[in-house]
Amino acid sequence: MRENKNKLRKEVRSRLMELTKVEHEELSSRIAENLFSLEEWKKAKTIGITISIPPEVPTVRIIEQAWSEGKEVAVPKCDPEKKTMEFKKISSFNQLESVYYGLLEPVAETTEALKEELDVLIVPGLAFTKEGYRLGFGGGYYDRFLSYYRGATMALAYDLQFLDELPIEVHDIAVSKLITPSRILRTYAH
């Protein structure tokens, strides 16, 4: 199972690397527009989102849009020892620091943990099925978090990140909406 997942991760990553800069910008711009058109986005007061690293769908522009609409933005801070994560509010990109693998996370001292539930959680992933199942980056943080999260879940994806099937495990939880450059897919997940 693990070998298969790693093989799929490599495959999708290399597909993503084939997108040109222009394609990346054009497609991610359409994904963002589709996200901003959703009722859940419009109503949301707090958004949970990661700071993406290429070749993922870029999230910086989405965070800036959230701030400009007066929304609160919370970014995950992972605890590698406990394998848990909590979301911390940021009001500026200066409140981030580079941790392992070049991931940007909130600086613990300057950010406060979010006490209330996030209205919308944008879940990262490398590959997806149309049913909303995802292949993550291998840490398992989101699977654990999603097991008790009750708000709206969404994922942003380029069309080439869709696979017909993924190795699904018992603890895998599907997201309820997939946002692509051309459409918004509602899944049966709640």
Adjacent-strand bridge partners of 78: 85
State pLDDT tens for residues 127-160.
Answer: 999 999 999 887 888 988 998 898 999 999 999 9
State pLDDT tens for residues 4-14.
Answer: 898 999 999 99
* Predicted local confidence at residue 171, as pLDDT: 79
**Looking at per-residue confidence, does 48 or 81 come out higher?**
48
* Domain layout of the chain by residue ranges: 2-186
CATH superfamily of 2-186: NagB/RpiA/CoA transferase-like (3.40.50.10420)
Preceding peptide of 55 cis, ω within 30°: yes
pTM of the prediction? Answer: 0.91
Adjacent-strand bridge partners of 46: 72
